[in-house]
Structure formats: C-alpha cells, structure tokens
A and B are shown apart, each in its own frame.
Chain A
Amino acid sequence: METLLLSRIQFGANISFHILFPTITIALSWVLLFFKLRFSATGDMRWMDAYRFWVKVFALSFAMGVVSGITMSFQFGTNWPGFMETVGNIAGPLLAYEVLTAFFLEAVFLGIMLFGFSRVPGWLHTLATFLVAFGTLMSAFWILVLNSWMHTPAGFEMRDGVAHATDWFAIIFNPSMPYRLLHMLLASGLTVAFLIAGFSAFRWLIGDRSDEVRLTLKTGIVLAAVLIPAQIFAGDLHGLNTLEHQPQKVAAMEANWETGPNVPLVLFALPDQEARENRFEIAIPNGASIVLKHDPDGVVPGLNDFVAEDGTLLHPPVAPVFWSFRVMVGVGVLMLLMSWAGAYLLWRRGTDGMNPWLLRGFVAMSFSGWLATLAGWYTTEIGRQPWLVQGVMKTADAVADVPAPMVMGTLVAYLVVYAVLIAAYVGVLFYLARKAASGQMPEPMTPQSGDAPVRLVPAE
C-alpha cells in the first residue's frame, strides 16, 4: 500500500482510539462533580460511594486519553507536515490555546482530585473536581473549533499558498462549530449515561443491591432518557448545517446521485461508485427531501454535481459515509427505545421492578456510545474527503514523504498496542464492577480538612 493510504489508516486508528476516552471523560467529569456536590449537600454516603467507584473509571480513562492524545500531537509532524505548513497560522494558535488553557489545568488538578482527597479541605477537592471538568470542556471546545474550521473554514486569506488569519472571531465561531460542539458534547453525555447504566445493571444482575447501584442505575437511565431527544434535535440541526456548507457530504450520507426534488430516503443500498448508482435499494419516497428540506418537493443535492470536468471526484467515497451514518442513526434509535423503556419502568415500578432482560440490554449497550461516536466521526471525517481543509487543501497534499514500509511498521505496532489496551481497559472495568459488587471496596474515606499528615491514598 502507498504512504498516503497507510498514513490515513494510521491517523484514523490513532484518533479513533483516542476519541474513545475523551468521550468518556468529558461528561464523566461533570457527573463526578454532580456526585461530589450531592454528597457535600446531603452527607449521604451513597453519593460518595458512587463517586469513588466512578472516579476510578475516570482515572483510567483519563490516562488512556492523555497518552493517546500525545501521540496525535506528534503525528501532525511525523505524518502530515503539509497541514501545519499550509494552515499552521490558524491551527497553531488554536492548539496552543488548548494546551495552555486545558491540558495543564486538567493534569495538575487531576492529581489533587485523585490523590488529594485526604490531603486538602473538602471545598478544595470539590474545586479540583470542577477544574478538571472545566479543563476537559475547554479542551473539547478548542479541538472542535479547529476541527470545525477544517470543515467550514472562515476568517482567513491565502497568501503565497499559506493561510493567514484575518478575523479570529470568525475563525473560532466558524459556521459549523456551534453545531459540532453541541453534537459532540451530547454524544459524550450519552456515552457516559449508557456506560453508567450498563455497569450498574451489570452489578445489579450479579447480585449487588447496594444503595449506590440503585442510585447510579437511575442516574444513568434518566440522563440517557433526557439527552437522547436533545441529541436527535441537535443532530438534525447539524445535518442541516452540513447541507448548507458541505452538500457533497450529505449527498454521500443519503447515497443520492442526482440533484433534484422528491428525493427518496434510502434505508438500505449498496452504493456503487463505479456505476454511479445504488444496488438493492430500499427507500421511502420523498423521504430525503422531507428530512433535509422539510418539504417533499425540496431540491436535494446529488453526488454527480461534484465531479470535475476531467473526471476527478470532488465528493467523498460514498459507501463508508453512507454506512457509518446509518450505524450512528441506528444506535441512536436504539438508545431512544432503551432509555425511554428503562425510564418508564423506573417511574412505574422502581429499581426493584426492572425487567432483567431490559437490564441485560443495558449491559449489552454499555459501550454503545463508543459505536455511535465513532460512526458519527467517520461520517463527518470521511465525508470531508478528498479535502483536508474544505476547499483549501487536499489530504494528499499534506502527507509526509516517509517510506511506506516505515509507516506500515509503526501502524502495526500501534494497532497491537491499542488492541491490547482496549481489551485490558474493558476487562478491568468489569473486574472493578465485580469487585465493587462483592463488597471488597476499602472502608469509606471521610473528608478531612487541614493538612494533617495523612497517607497518600490513590483513587485506584
């Protein structure tokens, strides 16, 4: 294989592995702050137990996110030097602000949050928890600003082939940023909601009837039930925004070849890019026009509009975008059904009246947020191809001139490490849940104030 494709696979693998963990930590940090605040307000140990279990998951996820994030920052240079050479004047400050305002804040206060519980006053520990949550949010903000700018660049001008910033406000609040940020934050919330619901259900099923499990099961299901309609709404807005700025991506998502009115909503098809048609298509008449234009006669863009005179494709590969989009939507629908069924049962019958099969369903969906998030990112990022920065530079123009075998070698090494780590991560989460369910957690810690010489207690 050639260097370009291998480099793309390598970056795709790294960023896919990386995003799994921030997706958890962005929202879990706020859930932890919620647990901590409830404990501070009520003194009820259930909240502290919940905090102590989930802070372990947080610590582990955070470490995975940090180390895979460092990898990303180096790969800009090792594999994609053209990116920074062309748009470094815009990407650079955004990344710098992420490091300065987010990374250090997270890293320093994480130490206090995890290890400082018995070393600092309660309020300072709560403050550290807040600052970690705030730091992860800032990190998400800056990186999504940059990512959105790559989709909908604004506030710059090209001079001698290099982008120069002209309006920082326009760069930061570029057209797709608010939608993408909201969509991603809600995705993080849903991922965590299903993770908490799934592991609480798991503990319940293996016999854990503690107050803590009742509390977290309810927290997870209610959070999911509240967030999923918001996410569907936000996703629709984001899709309409994409239709406006990147119509070729939406055309690929819908596998629609010809521009026109009364475009059907394709439910199933095997898009054939060679023949430029769909095979085995099952579709709802006028569906896409209704979804995208809210009118059966609405004109929807087609892929054939995005082919240059000389036959060069200016639209993304159709099948991956079409299918990732369907996986994301499918998981979303499943999330809606599960969380509302769960919430209904909780409301009618309480935790003890939960149907065991529904609980098993939640266990099965513990990591469904990962699937939906990845599918969503594949939709939008593959959907941006062949552009690296929409309309400004192509992916092929940024790649490093590194021998293909070298890229291949390191790719294999990364994949092996990532596979082992994901297996270990999931394994350890279930191990922690089993251990918590069998009541082998250490005796509850009580907050102390002052700096009395206390042991260094890790949040392992």
Chain B
Amino acid sequence: MMTLFGDPAVWLPIVFASLMGLSILIYVVLDGYDLGVGVLFPFADDDEKDRMIASIGPFWDANETWLVLAIGLLLVAFPVAHGVILTALYLPVAVMLIGLILRGVSFEFRAKAPAPRKRLWNNAFFAGSLMTSVAQGYMLGLYIMGLEWAPATIAFALLTALFLTVGYSFIGATWLILKTGDDLQKKAVRWARRGLLGAVGGIAAVSVASPLVSPRIFEKWFAMPEFLLLAPLPVMSLLLIGALWMMLRHLPHEHDHWSWVPYLTAMGLFALAFAGLAYSFYPYVVPEYLTIYEAAAAPESLFIILAGTVFVLPTIVGYTVLAYVIFRGKATELRYD
C-alpha cells in the first residue's frame, strides 16, 4: 500500500513537507491575527481592548495549536532537522515561548484577577504578543540566512523581526475591521493602512535578500523559463497590495459592506509570500545543508501518521469551521464580573 504512489522514500517526505508548510501557513494567517491584535493593544483604550479580546477570545487557542502541529510535524517527519533548527534558534525560541506563555495566560488573568491588576495583565498580553511576533520574525530571517549567526545575518533577522511584527499588526487590523464596528473599526482601518506598508516592506526585503544570499535560489527564480512561469506570484502579490491599498482608503462602507475583504486579501497576500519562500527553499529543510529526503524519518513511521492525518485533518477543519460559524458576526460587547 505504501508503494501505491511510487517509492515511499520519495513521496512521503514531499507529502509531509507540504503538510508542514500548510500548517505553518495556516498558523501564520490565524495566529497572526490574534498576535497582531495583541501588538496593537497599546493603541486602544480600555473599552476597545475588551472588544479586541472578545474578537479573538474563542479562537486563539485553536489558532496556536497549528504551531504545535507544525513543530510536531517537523519533529516527527524530519527529526534530524528538528534538532538542527531548534538548537540553532535556541534563544529566539526561548523568547517566543516565554512570550506565548505570557499572552496565553493573560487572556484568562485579565478577566479574572482583581480589577486593579487588569492593567498589568493587559501589559503582559501586549508584551507577550510582541515578544512572540519579534522572535518569529527573527527566526524567519535567520532561517533565510541559512541559520548562521553573523553581524550581517543578525541585522537582516532584526529587520525581518520588525517587518513580521508590523505584518502581524496588519493582519490583526484587518481582522478587527471584520469583527468590530464604529470607532474601533475606523481605527482598525487606519492601523491596517500603516501595517500594510510594513507587510510590503517585509515581502520586498525577503524577496531581494534570499536570491542574493543563495546563488541556488537566484538560479531557481531567474533562469528561463522558470522566471516566466513564476511571474504570476509577484504579479498577483502586487495586484493584491494595490487592491488592499485602494480598499483601505474607502473603508468602512455603509452597512458594513466589504468589511470581510481586507482580511481575506491579507490571507491571500501571506499565502503568496509563503508560496514564494517554499519554492525557494525546496528541497531543503535546513537551508543548503539538509534536504527533506535526507532528514525524513522511516517511511513506516511516516505512513502510520499519514493514515491518521487523512482522516483527522478534515475533521479538524470541519469543527474549526463550526467554531467560526458559531462566533460569526461582530464582537460587540464583553461582560466581566
């Protein structure tokens, strides 16, 4: 059965790399919005903060689970790469984990602690979201630079840290446009406009830097006919950016028309950027060092995971959709006791 699609040592690593990539992408567009809402926290007043939390409250935990799945897939499918990548990223991972701890518990503490402490937990929520976003951006940059710690690569990683944080605040703002109304929505439109610049800057920086760092990546993009075949990626990205820019100048519309479009477009933009990255790095899981075929676990073990995944993943998608349907509409009011 394992040989149904040819040599399992070839197709299983591809399937698992795709699954892992998909999990990371879903994580970025889902947890991205709730991290972004956290990053935007200092710009909101107390009442708005409550509504911002209400807009992400039922979702954040499930969003974060995609990160656990992604890292789990890396761990189970490419155990050697998992060790190499995570030991190289030891410090940023620790910063991210502490950030995730702080923001995760702040959701609960800010609502349950005595009123005077609420401000403290609001700050912890912001700090945790910021630490997580910055650390993830830093890791992305370092990964693109081949996991090397040198002044130039660190500088680039700091740049991607800034851009990803602003990018998250952008997708967070588009989420708030969808989930809120009135003044907060107007504010969110302004945040989104500013954030879009950061997201564009980040995509541009990565697009320029990765072919410069790696002749292999340069070759993959700028040879013929690849260059023409890949052209839709940057062209569509530019179209989406243009559409977003136009839209954000006119939102919010009367009767809340089109308020769902910016978030969806933002998702599209992140997906295109991600597809570009994935193309650049394939077949490497550790850039220039370890391919997915070299790092893959035994086919028997991968197959038994895949068998479960085929049944379970659609179920997960099903009840995730159920949750989004149940909590559809505006997060208008939040009651604390």
Interface residues in chain A, defined as those with a beta carbon under 8 Å from any beta carbon in chain B: 56, 59-60, 63-64, 66-71, 73-74, 76-78, 81-82, 84-85, 88-93, 95-97, 99-101, 103-105, 107-112, 114-116, 119-120, 162, 164-165, 168, 400-402, 406, 410, 413-414, 417, 421, 424, 427-428, 431-432, 435, 440-442, 451, 453, 455-458, 460
Contact = CB atoms under 8 A, between A and B. Distances in A.
Contacts of B62: 104, 107-108, 111
B3 interface: no
Contacts of A109: 319, 323
Nearest to A442: B337
A70 to B, nearest CB: 6
A104 B316 CA distance: 7
Contacts of B104: 63, 66-67
B25 interface: no
Going nearest first, the 3 A-B pairs with the smallest beta carbon separation are A81-B83, A92-B76, A77-B86
A110 B59 CA distance: 9
Contacts of B80: 81, 85
A99 B72 contact: yes
Contacts of A84: 75-76, 79, 82-83
A93 B301 CA distance: 7
Interface in B53-79: 54, 57-59, 61-62, 64-65, 67-69, 71-77, 79
Contacts, number: 231
Contacts of B59: 111
Given A78-B86, A413-B98, A70 B57 contact: no
B313 A100 contact: yes
Given A111-B62, A115-B58, A453-B329, A90 B301 contact: yes
B83 A456 contact: no
Contacts of B64: 66, 70, 107
B15 to A, nearest CB: 13
B330 to A, nearest CB: 9
Contacts of A431: 112-114
Contacts of B54: 456, 458
A73 B68 CA distance: 7
A78 B65 contact: no
Given A70-B64, A74-B93, A455-B333, A93 B76 contact: yes
B284 interface: no
Given A66-B61, A74-B93, A456 B100 contact: no
Nearest to B55: A456
B18 interface: no
Interface in B137-176: none
A115 B329 contact: no
Given A168-B304, A421-B101, A111 B61 contact: yes
Contacts of A107: 61-62, 64-65
Given A97-B305, A99-B65, 5 more contacts: A92-B297, A96-B72, A164-B298, A413-B98, A431-B114
A101 B312 contact: yes
B316 A115 contact: no
7 contacts: A67-B101, A78-B87, A109-B323, A114-B57, A410-B94, A428-B113, A460-B108
Given A70-B68, A111-B62, A89 B301 contact: yes
Contact of A96 (B67, B114, B308): B308
Nearest to B328: A451
B25 to A, nearest CB: 16
Contacts of B79: 84-85, 88, 92
A107 to B, nearest CB: 4
A99 B68 contact: yes
A164 to B, nearest CB: 6
A15 B134 CA distance: 26
B101 A417 contact: yes
Interface residues of B, number: 70
A317 B274 CA distance: 50
Nearest to A59: B108
Contacts of B336: 458, 460
Nearest to A166: B300
Interface of B: 54, 57-59, 61-62, 64-65, 67-69, 71-77, 79-80, 82-87, 89-91, 93-94, 97-98, 100-102, 104-105, 107-109, 111-114, 297-298, 300-301, 304-305, 308-309, 312-313, 316, 319-320, 322-323, 326-327, 329, 331-337
Contacts of A119: 326-327
A81 B87 CA distance: 8
Given A89-B301, A99-B68, A99-B69, A424 B331 contact: no
Contact of A95 (B72, B93, B97, B312): B72
B335 A457 contact: yes
Contacts of B327: 111, 115-116, 119, 456
Nearest to B62: A107
Contact of B112 (A66, A110, A432): A432
B68 A68 contact: no
B109 A428 contact: yes
Contacts of B98: 413-414, 417
A218 B79 CA distance: 49
Nearest to B87: A400
Contacts of B332: 455-456
A417 B335 CA distance: 29
Contacts of A64: 105
Contacts of A85: 79-80, 83
A105 B84 CA distance: 31
Interface centre among B73, B83, B109 (most CB of A within 10 A): B83
Contacts of A67: 100-101, 104-105
A76 B325 CA distance: 36
A44 B73 CA distance: 46
A70 B100 contact: yes
Contacts of A89: 297-298, 300-301
B242 to A, nearest CB: 35
B125 to A, nearest CB: 12
B111 A95 contact: no
